[in-house]
Amino acid sequence: MTQAKSAKSAKAQLFEDLKHQILTMELGPDEDLDEVALCERYGLSRTPVREVFRRLSGEGYVDIRENRGARVSPMNHSTLRHFFLVAPMIYAAVGRLAARHFTARQLAELKETQAQLRQAAQAGDIQAMVLKNNRFHEIMGEMSGNVYLQTSLNRLLIDHARIGRTFYQPHDEDTARRRQASIDHHDQFIDALVARDEDTIARLSYEHMELSREHMELFIMPPGLKPEPPQSL
């Protein structure tokens, strides 16, 4: 492999690795990206690393601050409010167009991604679940064939993944039930796509998002602890 090809491969790997680490919350919101450390780790000069930062910034993964470097995009109460306000509408619009325009190749990839998601869930591989779930919805965006909606969807997916990872409780029965319902929704999305049933896809989009909203709400406002009766002296 030539030096140019090696640098190109390392640059592509850095881009994918940072995306995955942000989606899975290995890199948390507001976390600074260590340019020098990344240069050393991937054998790259500062110029290609900064090009990766700019590309990630354009897609909504990072913020670039003048004279302060790059950081992971923040996620706060305002982010959550805006997300839950518009996400169902965008998911529904994407789904409607996906039902009209999907190709056989895209449908096959969607089914394979769903199978991989189920395997990850059975294995308890949380990181793989986050990435496969993200890819499932990315494919639906690609099916829509609409550049405006795809751009909005891809930005939503970053925070959808981070919200899910933030409020995930692996040993909670209610979390497990909602996770299973969410995965089952994917199968229903596939069936509705095959039937070109736009209305069902739109309905599922709202139900799918409601699972996420309820899950976050339960995390923030859990049932109160049952007080212990005072011990008699």
Q: Which domains occur in the chain, in start order?
A: 3-72 (1.10.10.10), 77-220 (1.20.120.530)
Q: State the Cα–Cα distance between residues 186 and 198, nearest whole angstrom.
A: 15
State the pLDDT at residue 179. 84
For residue 52 the two structure tokens come to 């990766």
Partner residues linked to 65 by β-bridges: 69
The answer to whether the predicted template modeling score (pTM) of the entire model surpasses 0.75 is: yes
- Supply the DSSP symbol for 32: B
pLDDT one digit per residue (tens) for the chain, 233 residues: 455 557 779 999 999 999 999 999 999 999 999 999 999 999 999 999 999 999 999 999 999 988 788 999 998 888 888 998 999 999 999 999 999 999 999 999 999 999 999 999 999 898 999 999 999 999 999 999 999 999 999 999 999 999 888 776 666 677 778 888 999 999 999 999 999 999 999 999 999 988 877 766 666 555 665 666 666 65
Question: Which residues lie below 8 Å from residue 49, measured CB to CB, with a gap of 6+?
Answer: 11, 14, 35, 38, 39, 42
> Do 129 and 117 touch, CB atoms closer than 8 A?
yes
State the pLDDT at residue 1. 47
Angle separating helix axes 46-59 and 147-166, nearest 10 degrees:
100
